[in-house]
Amino acid sequence: MFNKRLSSVTLNSGEVYPRTNDKTICYLKNIIKNPNIIIGDFTFYHDFNKPEKFESQNVLYHYPINNDKLIIGKFCSIACGTKFIFNAANHTLKSFSTYPFPLFLTELKVTESWDNKGDIIIGNDVWIGFDAVIMSGVHIGNGAIIGTRAVVTKDVPPYTIVGGIPAKIIRKRFDDTVIEILQKIKWWDWEPEIIIENIDAIRNGDIEQLKSIMLKLETS
């Protein structure tokens, strides 16, 4: 179980810039101030110019009056230019006019200017490609991959690759049996030391080894 090759390696989610002398990658959890943006450990954002501006430049139309949330799990990889478009960007379709009259008429509620589709929820170990756009109300499952410049308007199942405008399913990453096992194992919830010790099994797709580790953790 113990990986001697990586015995001196540690994962530290408390760092802002996890790579030495590289300020193009940051752990998002450590730079976010908005309580309606909830980020898991080790999820990073890469940007060629100041990734620490993620909150203001990548999370858009996210106004406090809506109380809508961006929730992203652990160990997600978010590429440069990814945008999360929230509910205030949605002009209402319930009216005969899409013009946002409530924005300018104080007698009306501002939130009636748009349709509220809910929070954006991203699972764990999700890879979001360059310039992708995630729309309000979308839920993305664990282990999913979002292709470059995809526009995601619908939910994405776990361990599924999507791409295009609007994004459509390209294929599943693994067969259903493996996906079900991975959903139960939830390696991203293991202690960092356990992950490091078993990094080869995770990276090489050794599902039997991961099942064995899960059993040991459940019985310990």
Active site residue ranges: 91
Q: What is the DSSP letter of 138?
A: -
C-beta of residue 45 within 8 angstroms of C-beta of residue 26: yes
Distance (Å, whole) CA 37 – CA 34: 6
Nearest to 160 by CA among 201, 199, 150: 150
What value, to the nearest 5°, has the Cα angle with vertex 170 and ends 167 and 172?
120
CA dist list (Å): 5 to 109, 176, 198: 60, 32, 11
Distance (Å, whole) CA 72 – CA 50: 20
Give helix 207-219 / helix 176-185 axis angle, nearest 10°: 30
Distance of CA 39 to the CA centre of its chain: 8
Residue whose entry in the numeric block shows the structure tokens 């379709």? 93
Taking every pair of Cα atoms in the chain, the longest distance, rounded to a whole number of angstroms, is 68
Residue whose entry in the numeric block shows the structure tokens 């008429």? 105
Q: Is the peptide bond before 166 cis (omega within 30 degrees of 0)?
A: yes
